[in-house]
Amino acid sequence: MLTLEKFEEASELVKQVTNPTKLVYSDYLSEQTGGKVYLKPENMQHTGAYKLRGAYYKISTLSEEERQKGLITASAGNHAQGVAYAAKKYGCKATIVMPTVTPLIKVNRTKSYGAEVILHGDVYDDACAYAYELAEKEGYTFVHPFDDLDVATGQGTIAMEIVQELPTVDYILVPIGGGGLITGVATLAKMLNPKIKVIGVEPAEAASMTAALKAGEVVALDSANTIADGTAVKAVGVQNLPYVQENVDDILLVEDDELIGAFLDMVENHKMVVENSGLLSVAALKQLECKGKKVVCVLSGGNMDVITMASIVQHGLIQRDRIFSVSVLLPDKPGELVSVASTIADAQGNVIKLEHNQFVSTNRNAAVELRITMEAFGTEHKHKILDALEAKGFRPKLISAKLY
């Protein structure tokens, strides 16, 4: 059972290893929603995510004999680092099985805490099955990333901190993967104040908790294909489901494209790097009536590798029409390129890439193709540039934008 006594014990214990992640008021998100929006920046933890809380509390409940057997777990990255860090604090060995697609930054950081990392399978569920095999074979103590009530108790300490800092909070938005975080947060939040509404948020393509609630039991999805890799879980925890059924007020689904925009907003307006899973709570704000409400978005983690980050930024700029490409056909004669460039410059567009193809037609006097990738301030400015090119007779054709 999850009890207030255990939550209080865990809240004191995790202070030994966590950073105090004070709420950050968001002027930008508050203005967008009409409410008072606060961020709970768990991306600022030592290990870059909230998972350290559950791992540390769980390991504290183990006997010395269980610890000395060595710990093993499976994780898409954040729980891996939490267990590795906590195991190091307790002086015991940790073996972590991670999916082969886990971002390099998560793999390297897990190793940096002294854990042995084994890459296996395409998704978390594959890695978990293999970790169980190894636990049985080697006699390791398995520390489940979410289907464990001690782990959920540790994660729930987030709710204790939120309510202590903002006692009048109306909504707490929580990302859902396997369900350990929302189980702990929702259960404790309702114990402290039953009026608080706890809203879970899942990726639309990995909505395993939504499926479980609909079926009335845990079900396994055929796939969990989402850029929110930390929540790409095919089946939620069996122990978590009853607590979610009782304490969670609603679950919202977010498309991957919405996470791209949320990443851009977080970087530009808050100067924070938050991984896609951690942005679920922010992206879901658009679906919630927030006017006059105090809302806390839990940013569950910030472990994103630089290559993924670069890709997300590029797609975000294209998605918001701040980068776009056009194709125009020109006679192959001097001065035409200058004329196009001048038209774009007069409309305050900024050319960042040019491709000149003389072989688009066998009749070079009739046409050569010019592909132009440029920056704009947004959709309105993009159309202004297109109108300017059209007015000069260039007949621009929008094409897929690529920066490489």
Residues annotated as catalytic (active site), given as ranges: 51, 300
Region of 139 on the Ramachandran plot (φ > 0 left; ψ -120 to 50 alpha; else beta): left
DSSP for 206-258?
G-HHHHHHHHTS----S----S-GGG--SS--TTTHHHHHHH--EEEEE-HHH
Q: Are 80 and 303 in contact (CB under 8 A)?
A: no
348-357 CB burial, b ≥16 within 10 A, e <16: ebeeeeeeee
Tokens of residue 360, six digits = 């688009």
Residue type, 362: T
Interacting residues of 370 by C-beta distance below 8 A, sequence separation 6+: 327, 328, 329, 330, 337, 340, 354, 355, 356, 357
Q: Look up residue 94 and give its DSSP letter.
A: E
Tell me the C-alpha to C-alpha distance, in Å, between residue 91 and each of 14, 84, 88, 138, 361: 17, 10, 5, 19, 70
| Separation of alpha carbons 290 and 277, rounded Å | 21
Q: How many residues does the chain have?
A: 404
